[in-house]
């Protein structure tokens, strides 16, 4: 039985994935399936909320790397939010903050999408 789950929630035009438990070689396919599901639904702006993520292995990190380029080429991105310190340390050790926006809260991650270059503002002009 898996000690990992992915919850799905929409916040405006952004898909929020809530990670719960331990993301490792045995559970990485669940995150991969979740991101693929988003991609197939043309939901390319994704916030990963890691508030309840207890552990991540290199296999879990590999899932992020497998999809980031494809999502960015489609006009989207992955923002990572609310990581526990020990999980953030794994991301940090491997240089992920240079490749991904990793922020303190889901609200901060959602705001990053709102202020991303090329997004339409409320008056319809591109920023």
DSSP assignment of 64-77, as one string? HHHHHHHHHHTT-E
The pTM of this model reads 0.88
DSSP symbol at 76: -
pLDDT at residue 115, rounded to an integer: 75
Element (H, E) at 108: helix 106-114
Domains of the chain by range and CATH? 4-101 (3.30.750.24)
Q: What is the pLDDT, as a whole number, of residue 125? A: 41
Residue 114's pLDDT is what?
84
The total of other beta-carbon atoms located within 10 Å of residue 94's CB is: 13
From first to last of the 127 residues of the chain, give the pLDDT tens digit: 469 999 999 999 999 999 999 999 999 999 999 999 999 999 999 999 999 999 999 999 999 999 999 999 999 999 999 999 999 999 999 999 999 999 999 999 999 998 765 433 333 343 3
State which H helix or E strand residue 26 sits in: none
């Amino acid at each position: 039985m898996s000690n990992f789950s992915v919850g799905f929630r929409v916040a405006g035009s952004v898909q929020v994935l809530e990670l719960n438990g331990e993301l490792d070689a045995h559970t990485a396919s669940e995150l991969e399936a979740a991101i693929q599901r988003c991609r197939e639904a043309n939901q390319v702006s994704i916030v990963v909320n890691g508030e309840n993520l207890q552990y991540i292995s290199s296999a879990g990190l590999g899932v992020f790397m497998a999809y980031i380029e494809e999502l960015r080429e489609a006009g989207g991105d992955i923002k990572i939010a609310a990581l526990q310190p020990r999980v953030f340390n794994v991301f940090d050790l491997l240089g992920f903050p240079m490749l991904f926006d990793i922020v303190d809260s889901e609200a901060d991650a959602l705001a990053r999408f709102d202020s991303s270059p090329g997004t339409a503002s409320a008056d319809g002009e591109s920023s």
